[in-house]
Structure formats: structure tokens, C-alpha cells
Amino acid sequence: MPRESAEDVRDAHRVVAALSAAFSEKVVGQEHLRESLLIGLLTGGHVLLESVPGLAKTTAARVIAESIDGQFRRIQCTPDLLPSDIVGTQIYDASSGSFVTQLGPVHANVVLLDEINRSSAKTQSAMLEAMEERQTTIAGTVYPIPEPFLVVATQNPVDQEGTYALSEAQTDRFLIKEIVRYPSPEQEVEVMIRRDAGLYDKDHRTRPVATVEQVRRLQRVARDVYMSRELMLYAGQLVAVTREPAKYLPAQVARMVDYGASPRATIALCTAARALAVLAGRDHVLPSDVADVAHRVLQHRLILGFEAASAGVTADVVIDAALRAVRVP
């Protein structure tokens, strides 16, 4: 990698360190969540979060937006939410006797889709189209979405009554999926201390430590991080194992898999691994970077059968087996 690119990575690491510190000022613990959100920010990918309510998902997304001095919008998904409520619509202006365009909340730098699986399939499709195309079309006119653009969608794994599960094609559009865990008792005490100190008051915004232009530069740096052909092949082999599990995995694991991951998973593995290298201050990808993001990239892309559900086997079991099956370069 050219020397100037390595210097760019060091500059990027300093900005990322400032973003991490700003995140930790508001969100206690949740280091894995912080890393996943920063990977999404650096890659221009989107993040799917799964957890029960109350684990600081909204706070985390808001802090990321405020720390880059970007626009933040939160959309509470409900069954009656319409596509126009998200992308925008035209409204009649009686004073001028004409229609004017009102852009929807998706036109922001960081958008939180709270409980995305409670919106209808039609509304989900409208949002996911905006995520992929980075634009919306209202009355035949195309409106670009601001860059950087990060969508953080949440799902509650417990209460599934009245929900519309995301299709496999839609979940495949998310770069990574993060399962948010409960904090420790000590971390919950720290949350209470910070709340008593007023750190979570509405008027206590996170101080910006970067700009959206700096984030755009970070994304360019992340794209240029060196990744050897051997590591790209390593990522491809991990994905290939999920498509032919009977050929590579133990029989008791292989029979749990109905469908493996798509080629988009290989791209996501390489993209996320490059971003992880930037977070570590490196200008090159290590095998451990690919392994570290494997669960987050693959777990929502594997389709397991009924036997897996009945036996309580999760995608993580299959991914662990795939990591053991593929030789590390």
C-alpha cells in the first residue's frame, strides 16, 4: 500500500478513536454494538439490530449521528405506516395553488427504523429500496439521500405477534446483524449514575467530534485498505462452505442448513474486514479481521431448517463449524 495511504489510515484511526470516545460517553459498555455501528458508518452499509427493548439502541444511533454533526431521524414502524411516511410525498399548498414536495425522514444521515418487522411488506420494500439506491422518487422526480447514509433497523426477537418478518432478500441487504446483549449489573449502575448526572437529558447533545465530510473521507480510506487475494479467497471459501455444508461440515451440523449465503456475503465479509482494520489503525486486513466479522455478516444470511429450530441450533453454530473447516491463510 502506498505510504500516503498508510498515513490516511492513521488519520482515519484518530477520527475513529474520537468517535468511539464520544460513543462511550453516552452508551455504557456495548463495545460490540459500537464496533458494528462504526463498521456500518465506514462502509456505507446498514446494520440490523436484534434485542429486547431498553438496551440503548436508539441512544446509540443518535450518538453516532450527533458525533458526526449529521442529521438523525427515528421512524417508529407500525402496521399502518405507509411508504410515503418514510420517503416523502407531495402536499397541496393552498396559498400558491400548487403541489410542493415534502421529503420524508429517510432523508437523513442516520435513520433508526425501530421495530422494522412491525411495518408492512410494502413499507419495508420502500425503505429497503432507499437503502440500496440511495435515492427516492416522488412524483417522478429523483431526490438523492444525504451521504453518509446509515440505516439502523431494530427487531424484537420476543414479541412476534402482529409482525411481518423480513424476507431473505431484504435481510441480505443489511451488511451486518448485531445481537445486542444485556448489560452487566455494574454497567446498569453506571447507567443510573450518568442518568442522575443529566447525561441523558434531551438538551444534552453529544459534542460533534467529526464532520460528514470527514466520514466520507473515512469511507474512501476503508475502501482502499489492502486485502490480499488469499484473504479474499478465505472469505469466499467461508461462504462456499455454507452453500455445500454436506461437503465440508460434520453431518449433524450440515443437515441443519437449508440454504447458504449469497455472493453478497463474500463482498460484505471483505468490506467489513477492511473497516475493522481501519478501526484497529492498520492499512491491511488480517485473517482475524475476516473471522471477527464472520458471525455478524453471515448469521442473518443463513437459512436453517425445521430440525435446527426444534433442536435449538442457531446460525452461530454453523458459522463456528465453517470457521473450523476452512484453513486460515
Do 203 and 238 have their domain in common? no
Q: Is 158 in the same domain as 214?
A: yes
Same domain? 274 vs 188:
no
C-alpha closest to that of 71 among 145, 155, 154, 173: 145
Amino acid (1-letter code) at residue 258:
D
Per-residue pLDDT of the chain (329 residues; tens, 9 = 90+): 444 467 788 888 899 999 999 999 888 888 999 999 999 999 999 999 998 888 888 999 999 999 999 999 999 998 888 889 999 988 888 888 888 888 999 999 999 999 888 888 888 888 877 888 898 888 888 899 999 999 999 988 776 666 778 878 788 889 999 999 998 899 899 989 988 888 777 777 888 999 999 999 999 999 999 999 999 999 999 999 999 999 999 999 999 999 999 999 999 999 999 999 999 999 999 999 999 999 999 999 999 988 888 888 889 999 999 999 999 98
Burial of 146-158, coded b for 16+ CB within 10 Å and e otherwise, reads eebbbbbbbbeee
Residue-range definition of the domain harbouring residue 86:
3-220
**Structural domain ending residue among the three candidates 193, 220, 247:** 220
Q: Are residues 65 and 88 in the same domain?
A: yes
Evaluate whether 42 touches 225 at the Cβ level (below 8 Å): no
The verdict on 192 and 234 lying in the same domain is: no
- 167 shares its domain with 28: yes
Task: Mark whether 23 and 119 lie in a shared domain.
Answer: yes
Domain final residue, candidates 196, 220, 244: 220
What is the count of structural domains for the chain?
Answer: 2
- CATH code assigned at 116: 3.40.50.300
**Residues with Cβ < 8 Å from 308, sequence gap 6 or more?**
256, 257, 314
Same domain, 170 and 290: no
Question: Do 81 and 148 share a domain, yes or no?
Answer: yes
Domain closes at, from 162, 185, 220: 220
**CATH code, 308:** 1.10.8.80
